[in-house]
Amino acid sequence: MSLFVQKFGGTSVANLERIRNVAKRVAKTYDRGNDVVVVVSAMAGTTDSLIKMAEEVTESPSKRELDMLLATGEQTSAALLAMTLQSMGYKAVSFLGHQAEVCTDRAFGNARILEIGAGRIKEAIGKKKIVVLAGFQGADPNGDITTLGRGGSDTSAVAIAVAICADVCEIYTDVDGIYTADPNICEKARKIKEISYDEMLNMASLGAKVLQIRSVGFAKKYNIPVHVRSSFSEEEGTMVVNEDSGMEQLVVSGVTHNKDEARITLKKVPDQPGIAAKIFDPIADAGIMVDMIIQNTRAGGQTDLTFTVPKKDYKQALEIEQKVAKEIEAEEVWGDPNIAKVSVIGVGMKNHSGVASIMFHTLAKENINIIMISTSEIRISCIVEEKYTELAVRVLHTAFGLDSDT
């Protein structure tokens, strides 16, 4: 007998028929003698349409009231699922975030979970009830309702799994797991059986559509195994686990791409203390996230500095740096939004050399120019021209032996 947390996303509870399917699935787990806590998202499209409605009322809805509104999406699906289970003859009870003592900070719209009491959940489990928890929501210390950011019910699920010491946290979604590359651009992509928390965190561009990335950080911190699987089939999905758990440590376990960045270069910047701070302070003040940074040494006391920002912030970042360049007397600023980041990721890289050179050779063979490179312990990323993204992903996938026919 085990304690399961099962989370069902928006598409899995999109209508009453699907809610019935979810209920059957939950019941099956329960009938095998397990305890189950179900976490639900809002029915597909609900959160978006609530946001749209708020924006029709006012251009800038108050964040507190927006959370009051958005939380109703999960309240609806939780109640409907609990009712469905009851109609099938099961003892079920639904709880909202605050009823389960999901305590968060006061960052409306993007709140962080501080702790979870879960007193009533534990009590209900003790009475052999199936618990349905509304995901995505909590309450701040004043009792005001907060939400955890888009996709936040994944984090609710992992956090509740930690709070009640669940054996496993299953995330049921509309894909059947995490893939070695985006199957939409790489035909030979395979479903990954097991992946480590750190790999998953690095696979943000692949995985973020499947799992809210914050939930993976949570799972890692508390060592909760997360099973990402499809709610439309019985097939096993992908286990996200601790890398010391005996999983196979592949040198490269996935290839990701991200077309969402743009690069900005400042040419002939004075090579002096304090200059980098002057370049990046106003970017930080504008709330723009910088990803890669590369600085060259140059002769003559000058250097070139290149960095990347999200595409949506490109214009603003460029304008900021044009001002900065005047101030620090850099020669010129230019940018390029037509780039993409292609990365190979694998925990086995820690103990293997030569991964970078295989990557560079593979791209060179296709005449793909590498514009920037960055590395971490388990990842190598190259910035290439955007038009080469798909090709780069495919050839790297093959070069590292990930193709489904090998």
Q: What mask of x and - would describe binding to ligand ASP in positions 289 to 328, judged by CB under 6 A?
A: ----------------------------------------
Contact 35, 122 (CB under 8 A): no
CB hemisphere CA count around 340 (13 angstroms): 19
- Judged by CB under 6 A, the residue of 97, 138, 151, 254 near ligand ASP is 151
* Cα dist from 306 to 213, 335, 373, 392, whole Å: 27, 9, 11, 22
- Judged by CB under 6 A, the residue of 6, 11, 104, 153 near ligand ASP is 153
198 C-beta neighbours (distance < 10 Å), count: 18
- Which range binds Mg ion by CB under 5 A, 2-10, 92-100, 178-186, 381-389? 2-10
Using CA atoms, how far apart are residues 48 and 260, in angstroms rounded to an integer?
A: 22
Q: What mask of x and - would describe binding to ligand ASP in positions 41 to 80, judged by CB under 6 A?
A: xx----x-------------------------x-------
Overall residue count recorded for the chain in this entry: 406
Distance in Å, CB of 237 to Mg ion, minimum: 14
Residue-wise DSSP of 376-403:
ETTEEEEEEEGGGHHHHHHHHHHHTT--
- Judged by CB under 6 A, the residue of 4, 95, 136, 179 near ligand ASP is 136
Q: Supply 363's token pair.
A: 């791209």
Looking at the Cβ atoms of 48 and 327, the one nearer to ligand ASP is: 48
Q: What mask of x and - would describe binding to Mg ion in positions 20 to 59, judged by CB under 5 A?
A: ----------------------------------------
Angle at 277 between CA 259 and CA 373, to 5 degrees: 35
Distance in Å, CB of 271 to ligand ASP, minimum: 45
Looking at the Cβ atoms of 41 and 231, the one nearer to ligand ASP is: 41
Angle at 367 between CA 356 and CA 307, to 5 degrees: 60
150 binds, among ligand ASP, Mg ion, none (CB under 5 to 8 A by kind): ligand ASP
Looking at the Cβ atoms of 170 and 243, the one nearer to Mg ion is: 170
Looking at the Cβ atoms of 8 and 314, the one nearer to ligand ASP is: 8
Q: Nearest Cα to 261, choosing from 386, 387, 394, 396?
A: 386
Using CA atoms, how far apart are residues 10 and 272, in angstroms rounded to an integer?
A: 52
Looking at the Cβ atoms of 49 and 338, the one nearer to ligand ASP is: 49
Looking at the Cβ atoms of 97 and 151, the one nearer to Mg ion is: 151
Using CA atoms, how far apart are residues 114 and 335, in angstroms rounded to an integer?
A: 40
Which residue number has the CB closest to Mg ion?
151
Contact between 152 and ligand ASP by CB under 6 A: the answer reads yes
Contact 379, 344 (CB under 8 A): yes
User: Which residue type does 52 have?
Assistant: K
Using CA atoms, how far apart are residues 126 and 145, in angstroms rounded to an integer?
A: 27
Q: Nearest Cα to 317, choosing from 243, 261, 364?
A: 261
Contact 74, 15 (CB under 8 A): no
- Dihedral sign, Cα of residue 119, residue 96, residue 152, residue 114: negative
Number of residues forming the site for ligand ASP (CB under 6 A): 13
155 binds, among ligand ASP, Mg ion, none (CB under 5 to 8 A by kind): none
Contact between 110 and ligand ASP by CB under 6 A: the answer reads no
Helix (H) or strand (E) holding 355: helix 355-365
Of 126-165, binders to Mg ion (CB under 5 A) are 151
Q: What mask of x and - would describe binding to ligand ASP in positions 7 to 26, judged by CB under 6 A?
A: --xx----------------
Distance in Å, CB of 152 to ligand ASP, minimum: 5
Looking at the Cβ atoms of 43 and 368, the one nearer to Mg ion is: 43
Binding site for Mg ion (CB under 5 A): 9, 151
Binding site for ligand ASP (CB under 6 A): 9-10, 41-42, 47, 73, 135-136, 150-154
